[in-house]
Chain A
C-alpha cells in the first residue's frame, strides 16, 4: 500500500521535473524578443512633453510606468491613452487622476505679437522648439509643431500667450458617430427644434 503511494509520488515528481526542465529550456531558448516595454509605453503617450504627470517629459513617465507608477497621470492623452496603456499592460483602465489636470480640448499656443517683448523665455520653455524668435525680436509659434503643452504660458513675463483650440474647418472636421436614440428622427428641416427638444 505504502509502496504504491510512493511510486505515484516518485513518478509525479519525475514527470514534474522533466516537464519543468523542458518548459524552462523553452522559455529561455524560444523567448520572444519584444520591443522594450518603455518604448511601447512611450509610443502611446501623446508626446506633449508637458510634464503634467510630474516627470520631465513623456519618456521619463514611460519609464516610471514601466517601473510601476500608475497610468492615469497624463491629462493631454486623456482617457484614450489610459485605455491604450491599460490594454498594453493588462491593467484596469482607471479614470484620469484629477490631481494632474483634466482632459481639455486640443489647443495650440498663440502669441499676441504686439505685446511680445522678445524675452525668449517661452522659447527656452518650449520642449519641442516650436517657438521661433530671437532676443528683442517678436516671437511666433509654429502652429504645426505646437503640442499644446502649456509650458510657455507660465514663463511669459507679459502674459501674451494664449492657448486657443484649433478651429474646425472642412479639412479637419470629423464625422460624428450616428445618433442611436430611436426617439430622435433625423431630418434636414427642423433640425434646430429637434435638437432643442433633445437637449432639454
Chain B
C-alpha cells in the first residue's frame, strides 16, 4: 500500500451515511414522463436529433454531442417524444433550460445495442468514440465528458490513474453501494481506462468509513493483473475533491490554472468506471445511475437505480416521502448540493443524491453576524486560502483584490461556512464575487472585441471614402481632359473621320433630344397638376416650360442638322 499524504484543513461533519445503507440498491419505477435536459454535462448542450411525436426505444440516441466537449443523450426508456423546450432543470438558479420530454409507454423496449466483444483488439480511437457515442460523462459531480479525459493520453504523459471513490460528502452512499454490489463491473471499467491511458500505476482513493466497499474491491482486485493500489484515506471532508484527493494520494499539488493531466494524473469517478464497463461490454448508453435517497422526511432511505430523467416527485413518492415534515430538498450532498425548489426537476447524470431533510436535520440558516476574524475558516480551508479576507473583499466589492487573493482557487467546498461561528454564508459571497468577476471579464472582452470591430469599420469607411475620392478625382480629370479635347475639336473644323463616329454622335444627339422631350412632358404634367389643385408657383413652372421647350427644340434641331432624320 502506498503512502498517504494529507491536505490542509478539512472538517468532520456528521456522516449520516448509515441511514441509506440498510438495503441493497433497488430499482426505481419507470416514471410516466422522462425529462432530459440537453445540458447535463460541462461543455456545450447536446443537439436534439429526434422530432416531437417520434417513438423512441430504450437506449436510442435522442440528442447528439455538439462539439468536442459535449455529451450525447439517449432515451432511458421506450416512449414517444412529446415536447422539446424549456423545463425546470437542476441548477442553482432554479431557471428553465431546454429539455426533451418522453412520455413512456411502460414497455421498456430496448433498441439494438452494439457491445464490443474484444476491446483490446480494437482501435483506441474507435473505442473512445464508442464511449463518447454512448454519452458517458463523469458521474461524480461536474459531469465532464469522459471521452475527453480518455484522450488525454494523446498529448500528455499519464503515469497515474486515480479512481475517486472517496465519497466524502455526508449522506451520499451511491458510490459505496455501487462498490459493495458491483465491484467486478468497476474493476472491468478500470481495466478499460487503463488500456486507453496506459498509466504506470492506478490508485483507488477511498475513505476509511467504507470497510465493506474496501473489502469488496479488494476481493475483485485479486483476479486482476493490473497494478492497482487501494489507498484508504482517513475520513475528512473534502478528501473527495479532485485536487485534495490527488494531494492525499501523491503528495503533489495541481498547479493553479492547470489540469491534473498536466502533472501526469487523470482522475475518474468510481461510478464512471462502471458506466464505461456497461458501455463497452453491454453496449448500454448512460441512461441510469445509482442515486441515494435519504433524509428523515423519507420512509425508505436507500440507494436506487434510477433512470436519467426521472422527476424527483416520482422518486420521493417511491421512497414514501412525508410531505408534512419535508422542509428542505437538496440535490447532491449537504455541503455542495443544490437547494431544489421545484419537485418536477429530473435526475441528471450528475445527480448522486437527493436529500429530503426535515427542519431538525437542516434548519434554516441563522442570520449572519459580523465576522470576528476568528480564523476558523482559514484553519479548515482545503485550498489554504484566506476565507475571511476573501469575504471582506467580496462584501466590499473589491473584486480585483479577491482575485489576487486566489478567489478562483476556491473549490466552494463549504468547509468555511460550515465552521463559521457568525453564520456568514461565505460560499455564496464567493460565488457572487466569482460570477461578478466572470461577467466583468466577459464584458471587458466583449468591449475590446467591439472596439476592434469599430476600429475596423472606421478604417474601412475611411478607406472607402479615400477610394471614392480617388475615383472622383480620376473622373474629374478624365472629364477635364475630354472637355479640353472637345474644345480642341470644336476649335478645329469638325471633320468626322468615319461613319461610325458620325452614327455615335447622332445617337447621342437623339438621346439628348428625347431626354429634353421627356423633361418637357413632365413639366407640362406638373403644370397641369398644379393648375388643377391651385398650387403656388405656377408662374415659375410656366417659365421653366418655356425654357424646356426651347431646349427641346434646339436638341431636335441639332439632331436633324446632324442628319439624324435621314438615317
For residue A36, CB closer than 8 A to chain B, the reply is no
A128 touches B93 (CB 8 A): no
Measured between C-beta atoms, what is the minimum distance from B122 to chain A in Å? 36
Measured between C-beta atoms, what is the minimum distance from B390 to chain A in Å? 13
Chain A interface bracket (under 10, 10 to 19, 20 to 34, 35 or more): 35 or more
B454 touches A46 (CB 8 A): no
Q: 4 new A-B pairs (CB below 8 Å) besides A129-B453, A129-B456, A189-B327?
A: A46-B443, A168-B95, A180-B368, A188-B329
The segment from A11-19, A109-117, A152-160, A171-179 found at the interface with B is: A171-179
For residue A52, CB closer than 8 A to chain B, the reply is no
Closest to A45 in B: B447
The segment from B126-134, B427-435, B502-510, B544-552 found at the interface with A is: B427-435
For residue B365, CB closer than 8 A to chain A, the reply is yes
Q: List 19 A-B contacts (CB under 8 A).
A: A43-B448, A46-B443, A47-B446, A48-B450, A58-B454, A59-B451, A147-B446, A173-B91, A173-B92, A173-B95, A173-B435, A175-B428, A182-B368, A184-B367, A186-B365, A187-B327, A187-B364, A188-B329, A189-B328
Measured between C-beta atoms, what is the minimum distance from A41 to chain B in Å? 12
For residue B381, CB closer than 8 A to chain A, the reply is no
Q: Which residues of A contact B367 (CB under 8 A)?
A: 181-185
For residue B518, CB closer than 8 A to chain A, the reply is no
A130 touches B453 (CB 8 A): yes
Q: 5 smallest A-B Cβ distances: which pairs?
A: A182-B367, A47-B447, A175-B431, A173-B93, A174-B435
A169 touches B95 (CB 8 A): yes
Q: Which residues of B contact A130 (CB under 8 A)?
A: 453
Main secondary structure of the interface of A (DSSP, over half): loop
B368 touches A128 (CB 8 A): no
Measured between C-beta atoms, what is the minimum distance from B371 to chain A in Å? 12
How far is A43 from B450 in the complex, measured between Cα atoms in Å? 11
Q: Which residues of A contact B369 (CB under 8 A)?
A: 182
How far is A183 from B458 in the complex, measured between Cα atoms in Å? 55
How far is A168 from B435 in the complex, measured between Cα atoms in Å? 13
Chain B residues close to A by CB (< 8 Å): 39, 89, 91-93, 95, 97, 327-329, 339-341, 364-369, 425, 428-429, 431-432, 434-436, 439, 443, 446-451, 453-454, 456-458
Q: Which residues of B contact A185 (CB under 8 A)?
A: 364-367
Supposing A188-B328, A188-B341 touch, asked if A174 and B439 sit within 8 A by C-beta, the answer is yes
How far is A191 from B342 in the complex, measured between Cα atoms in Å? 12
Q: Which listed residue (B339, B436, B449) contacts A174, Cβ 8 A?
A: B436
Q: Which residues of B contact A128 (CB under 8 A)?
A: 450, 453-454, 457
Q: Which residues of B contact A46 (CB under 8 A)?
A: 443, 447
Supposing A170-B89, A189-B328 touch, asked if A177 and B39 sit within 8 A by C-beta, the answer is no
Q: Which residues of B contact A173 (CB under 8 A)?
A: 91-93, 95, 435
For residue A118, CB closer than 8 A to chain B, the reply is no
A145 touches B429 (CB 8 A): no
Q: Which residues of A contact B451 (CB under 8 A)?
A: 42, 47, 58-59
How far is A199 from B442 in the complex, measured between Cα atoms in Å? 32
Chain A, 41-80, contact with B by CB distance < 8 Å: what is the 0/1 string?
Answer: 0110111110000000111000000000000000000000
Q: Which listed residue (B95, B425, B428, B450) contacts A47, Cβ 8 A?
A: B450
Measured between C-beta atoms, what is the minimum distance from B516 to chain A in Å? 32
Supposing A45-B447, A47-B448 touch, asked if A186 and B364 sit within 8 A by C-beta, the answer is yes
Closest to A184 in B: B367
Supposing A47-B447, A47-B448 touch, asked if A175 and B95 sit within 8 A by C-beta, the answer is no
Measured between C-beta atoms, what is the minimum distance from B123 to chain A in Å? 35
